[in-house]
């Protein structure tokens, strides 16, 4: 017995000494941006040996357990790579400078996360010209947007065969603050991103499908997360002016000195003002938007970092609304830019605040705690069907939403490395509480109140917990996660029974409902070498239903689940060519389609749509033709169908089937840069039997800029060839004034014609 114990003790001692010897031969370090002194996440660090690669974490930290030579290479897209001589140092400090973009620097590796699209996000944010908050959404390959009620309203989102309305199936966050609004007066998941000033964005991350443990509600088609700059590398003032009386001014200014920045302390403010007539509409939009943003960072003690931010948005506009196809042909309006109801338009505001404390502890422990708050106001007057429901007064209606939202995000993680294996364990807790004292739908005429159609007080609480384990061993990476969400819904009708159709729905219903859902995830990657990697992802997700629908349905179909699978490849067949492609499948228990799942029509709620099945192929390619010329191509095919409807009657309304974007972007050393690009959306079904068609489009955009010293000037042109196109389309049963009977057909919002905008930026 004693002999056995001695052998075990000697084995443990030998293993410990061996591990220590390996640790002694390794190197740790931190990578920061030389201009801002901010940590750089996602930089590749290697000694050149196969598979001996690490990727810096959010604090810029990396670890190589053993080193084959006496130097390491540090590289990241958009920065000049550096070769570091170690000279017996066990800890190195690396400062990277912004530099030329080179696809040769891209090495495919199984990092400690499942951020499959890191390379695409880094390339596209550096190369593709971003002109607005809408362009930030378009950075996601395969994601299309449409505006159909004036410039101040959230965009309609299309992704992976989903018409996600304004966010029913795409989770959107900014600096950890949810953008999507639950139980919104206009639509479930309503995601208005206009409070984000595009010039403040430092990075973004996206994922397709329901495979991510830390992402909850609305993550069925995927998610998009944006992160603002912690520090400005330089101050800036920009002025833009374009057709249709379009003017925009933005300023971004550091308020602390470089000396404070070197100590880890920073504070900057950004402000934006915009005015536009919105296009050649006969009723000018008079679109006005103001944004203010401030962000503060400071070190707290030796190992913590405090980040605080505030932002506020105020926006007002008029809207021409959707036009039935027959309106121009039959002379109701003079042309496609006319208007049938001049009272349409809206006003919205949102104020956000967030405080986050990130702490790095010994033994590779990290803890993040974030508390956030939003105050929100929304008022919109619309008219889709004109005189169908109410032949005398008309069908115009107003939606109002006033709410306060508070939330918490907590995360703890630890990384353990032994030999060539690394285990990263993460766990999170969070909650979100929406108090909505005004959730309202009114019948109006010329914008004036006539009577309630729906008016109530909603409250919604979501608490969640998740656990995620990622094991990297050799060429393999395995990820397993599980997420649990609990919801408490409350809706109390406050409208008089005699004044509302919707009141009849809620009479006698209990105002409370509860539901929980558990979502498991499982993924694996295999990296054959630095040029090719295969992965498979499996997961369950969900999108929550509107509190009004939950109560109206007596708590039935509260959290429809989504089940997905991806099989994909990241591939570099040539040093300057990067390809990502995936075959995917998604089953959704309940589809949310426009006008069917929410009480947004005078006729009241309609039965929820059925289950759907989607399958498709995504392909993205990035190719560097020369040092100054880059090409990008995205091809996205989807086959969306209702699972429980007969063939020929199972088309998912407005769901995209084929989309494509591509472009050529140039960047010369003399300061000239820009690009030309197209976006193509194929024809698709406007209703379930494809009797009506939502027309596709092919639009070309151009941007050319010239930067010298502290100045940059440029021109951006949308719809370069002045194509006639429809930005958004819906099937409506409508009746125009004077018509004897209603007509079921497509209504549309005309797309922007040729639109040129000039800019001048000053940096200091």
304 and 201 fall within a common domain: yes
What is the model's pLDDT at position 113?
63
What is the model's pLDDT at position 605?
45
Confidence at 53, pLDDT banded by 50, 70, 90: confident
What is the model's pLDDT at position 608?
59
What is the model's pLDDT at position 574?
95
For 203-228, what is the mean pLDDT?
96
155 and 14 fall within a common domain: no
113 lies in some domain: no
- Specify the range with the lowest mean pLDDT, choosing from 90-94, 398-402, 501-505, 608-612: 501-505
What is the model's pLDDT at position 230?
93
104 lies in some domain: no
Q: Does 49 or 727 have the greater pLDDT score?
A: 727
What is the model's pLDDT at position 29?
86
Which tens digits make up the pLDDT trace of 1-11?
455 544 444 44
For 350-376, what is the mean pLDDT?
95
Q: Does 236 or 128 have the greater pLDDT score?
A: 236
Q: Of the residues 46, 70, 99, which one is the last residue of a structural domain?
A: 99
- Specify the range with the lowest mean pLDDT, choosing from 440-454, 544-558, 601-615, 686-700: 601-615
Q: Is 554 helix (H, G, I), strand (E, B) or coil?
A: coil
Distance CA 550, CA 326 (A): 37
Confidence at 393, pLDDT banded by 50, 70, 90: very high
For 67-81, what is the mean pLDDT?
83
For 71-98, what is the mean pLDDT?
83
The pLDDT mean for the chain works out to 90
What is the model's pLDDT at position 757?
96
109 lies in some domain: no
Confidence at 336, pLDDT banded by 50, 70, 90: very high
105 lies in some domain: no
For 212-221, what is the mean pLDDT?
97
Categorise residue 386: left if φ over 0, alpha if ψ from -120 to 50, beta otherwise.
left
Distance CA 625, CA 140 (A): 22
**Residue 663 belongs to domain with CATH number:** 2.40.170.20
pLDDT at 243 over 70: yes
Q: Does 290 or 22 have the greater pLDDT score?
A: 290
370 and 483 fall within a common domain: yes
For 682-699, what is the mean pLDDT?
97
Cβ atoms of residues 194 and 147 within 8 Å: no
pLDDT at 22 over 50: no
124 and 86 fall within a common domain: no
Question: What is the percent of the chain where pLDDT is above 70?
Answer: 93
Highest mean pLDDT among 63-72, 78-87, 301-310, 545-554: 301-310
What is the model's pLDDT at position 500?
67
pLDDT at 17 over 50: no
Burial class (CB in 10 A: 0-12, 13-18, 19+), 589: middle
Confidence at 595, pLDDT banded by 50, 70, 90: low
Confidence at 112, pLDDT banded by 50, 70, 90: low
Confidence at 438, pLDDT banded by 50, 70, 90: very high
332 and 410 fall within a common domain: yes
What is the model's pLDDT at position 599?
44
Helices (H), 335-380: none
451 lies in some domain: yes
141 and 273 fall within a common domain: yes
- Distance of alpha carbon 206 from its chain centroid, rounded? 7
For 449-476, what is the mean pLDDT?
94
Q: Of the residues 99, 126, 142, which one is the last residue of a structural domain?
A: 99
What is the model's pLDDT at position 431?
98
69 lies in some domain: yes
pLDDT at 549 over 60: yes
87 and 208 fall within a common domain: no
592 lies in some domain: yes
Q: How many other CB atoms sit within 10 Å of the CB of residue 245?
A: 14
83 and 122 fall within a common domain: no
Distance CA 519, CA 402 (A): 31
Confidence at 89, pLDDT banded by 50, 70, 90: low
Query: String of b and e for 538-571 (b: at least 16 CB within 10 Å)?
Result: bbbbbbbbbbbbbbbbebeebbbbbbbbbebbbb
Q: How many other CB atoms sit within 10 Å of the CB of residue 499?
A: 15
What is the model's pLDDT at position 730?
92
Cβ atoms of residues 198 and 147 within 8 Å: no
**Residue 80 belongs to domain with CATH number:** 2.60.40.1120
78 and 149 fall within a common domain: no
Phi/psi of residue 107, nearest 5 degrees: -125, 130
732 lies in some domain: yes
- Specify the range with the lowest mean pLDDT, choosing from 131-140, 266-275, 339-348: 131-140
220 and 81 fall within a common domain: no
* Nearest residue to 55 via CA among 42, 68, 66: 42
What is the model's pLDDT at position 8?
40
Token pair belonging to 367: 């803890």
67: containing domain: 2-99
Highest mean pLDDT among 254-263, 447-456, 477-486: 477-486
What is the model's pLDDT at position 449?
95
Which tens digits make up the pLDDT trace of 354-364?
999 999 998 88
For 570-576, what is the mean pLDDT?
94
For 646-674, what is the mean pLDDT?
95
Look up tokens 């809408």; give the residue: 134
What is the model's pLDDT at position 3?
56
Which tens digits make up the pLDDT trace of 123-165?
888 777 676 777 889 999 999 999 888 888 999 999 999 999 9
What is the model's pLDDT at position 530?
86
477 and 365 fall within a common domain: yes
What is the model's pLDDT at position 13?
40
- Specify the range with the lowest mean pLDDT, choosing from 33-42, 214-223, 737-746: 33-42
Confidence at 594, pLDDT banded by 50, 70, 90: low
C-alpha Rg value of the chain to the nearest Å? 27
Burial class (CB in 10 A: 0-12, 13-18, 19+), 722: exposed
pLDDT at 20 over 50: no
Q: Of the residues 99, 126, 144, which one is the last residue of a structural domain?
A: 99
pLDDT at 99 over 90: no
Q: What's the total number of domains in the chain?
A: 2
pLDDT at 572 over 90: yes
What is the model's pLDDT at position 114?
61
647 and 707 fall within a common domain: yes
């Amino acid at each position: 017995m004693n002999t056995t114990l001695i052998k075990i003790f000697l084995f443990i001692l030998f293993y410990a000494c061996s591990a220590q010897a390996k640790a002694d031969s390794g190197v740790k370090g931190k990578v920061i941006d030389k201009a801002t002194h901010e940590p750089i996440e996602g930089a590749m660090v290697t000694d050149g040996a196969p598979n001996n690669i690490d990727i810096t974490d959010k604090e810029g930290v990396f670890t190589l357990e053993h080193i084959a030579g006496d130097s390491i290479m540090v590289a990241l897209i958009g920065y000049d790579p550096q070769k570091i001589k170690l000279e017996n140092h066990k800890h190195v400090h690396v400062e990277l400078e912004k530099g030329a973009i080179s696809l040769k620097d891209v090495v495919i590796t199984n990092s400690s996360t499942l951020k499959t699209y890191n390379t695409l996000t880094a390339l596209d944010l550096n190369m593709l010209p971003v002109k607005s908050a809408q362009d930030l959404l378009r950075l996601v390959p395969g994601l299309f947007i449409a505006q159909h009620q004036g410039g101040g309203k959230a965009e309609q989102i299309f992704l992976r065969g989903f018409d996600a309305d304004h966010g029913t199936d795409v989770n959107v966050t900014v600096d950890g603050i949810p953008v999507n609004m639950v139980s919104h007066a206009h639509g479930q998941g309503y995601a208005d991103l206009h409070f984000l000033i595009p010039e403040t964005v430092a990075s973004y991350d996206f994922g397709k499908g329901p495979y991510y443990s830390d992402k909850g509600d609305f993550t069925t088609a995927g998610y998009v997360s944006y992160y603002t700059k912690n520090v400005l590398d330089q101050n800036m003032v920009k002025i833009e002016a374009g057709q249709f009386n379009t003017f925009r001014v933005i300023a971004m200014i550091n308020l602390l000195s470089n000396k404070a920045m070197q100590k880890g302390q920073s504070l900057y403010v950004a402000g934006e003002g915009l005015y536009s007539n919105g296009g050649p509409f006969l009723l000018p939009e008079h679109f006005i938007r103001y944004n203010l943003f401030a962000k503060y960072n400071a070190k707290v003690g030796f190992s913590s970092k405090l980040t605080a931010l505030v932002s506020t948005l105020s926006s007002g506009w008029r809207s021409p609304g959707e036009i039935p196809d027959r309106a121009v042909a039959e002379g109701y309006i003079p042309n496609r830019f006319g208007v049938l109801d001049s009272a349409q338009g809206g006003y919205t505001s949102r104020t956000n605040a967030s405080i986050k404390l990130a702490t790095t502890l010994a033994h590779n422990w990290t803890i993040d705690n974030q508390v956030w708050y939003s105050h929100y106001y929304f008022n919109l007057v619309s008219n889709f069907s004109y005189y169908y429901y109410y032949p005398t007064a008309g069908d115009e209606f107003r939606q109002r939403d006033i709410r306060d939202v508070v939330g918490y995000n907590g995360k703890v993680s630890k990384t353990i490395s032994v030999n060539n294996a690394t285990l990263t364990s993460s766990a999170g807790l969070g909650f979100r509480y929406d108090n909505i004292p005004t959730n309202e739908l009114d019948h109006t005429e010329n914008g004036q109140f006539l009577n309630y159609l729906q008016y109530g007080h909603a409250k919604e609480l979501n608490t969640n917990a998740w656990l995620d384990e990622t094991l990297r061993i050799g060429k393999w990476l395995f990820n397993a996660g599980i997420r649990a969400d609990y919801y408490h819904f409350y809706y109390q009708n406050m409208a008089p029974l005699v004044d509302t159709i919707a009141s009849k729905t809620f009479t006698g219903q209990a105002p409370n409902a509860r539901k929980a859902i558990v979502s498991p995830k499982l993924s694996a990657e295999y990296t054959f070498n630095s040029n090719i990697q295969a992965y498979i992802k499996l997961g369950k997700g969900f999108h929550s239903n509107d509190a009004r629908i939950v109560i109206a349905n007596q708590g039935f179909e509260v959290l429809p689940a989504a089940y997905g699978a991806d099989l994909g490849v990241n591939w570099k067949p040539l040093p300057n060519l990067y390809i990502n492609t995936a075959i995917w499948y998604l089953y959704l228990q309940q589809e949310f389609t426009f006008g069917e799942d929410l009480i947004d029509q005078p006729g009241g709620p309609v039965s929820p749509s059925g289950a759907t099945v989607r399958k498709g192929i995504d392909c993205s390619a990035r190719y560097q033709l020369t040092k100054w010329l880059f090409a990008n191509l995205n091809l996205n095919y989807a086959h969306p169908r209702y699972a429980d409807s007969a063939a020929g009657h199972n088309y998912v309304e407005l769901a995209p089937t084929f989309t494509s974007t591509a472009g050529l972007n140039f960047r010369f050393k003399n300061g000239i840069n820009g690009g030309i690009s197209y976006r193509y959306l194929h024809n698709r079904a406007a209703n379930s039997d494809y009797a009506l068609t939502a027309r596709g489009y092919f639009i070309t955009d151009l941007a050319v800029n010239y930067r010298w010293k502290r100045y940059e000037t440029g021109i951006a042109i949308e719809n370069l060839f002045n194509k006639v196109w429809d930005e958004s389309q819906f099937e409506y049963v409508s009746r125009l004034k004077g018509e004897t009977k209603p007509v079921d057909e497509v209504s549309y919002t005309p797309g922007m014609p040729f639109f040129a905008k000039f800019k001048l930026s000053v940096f200091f």
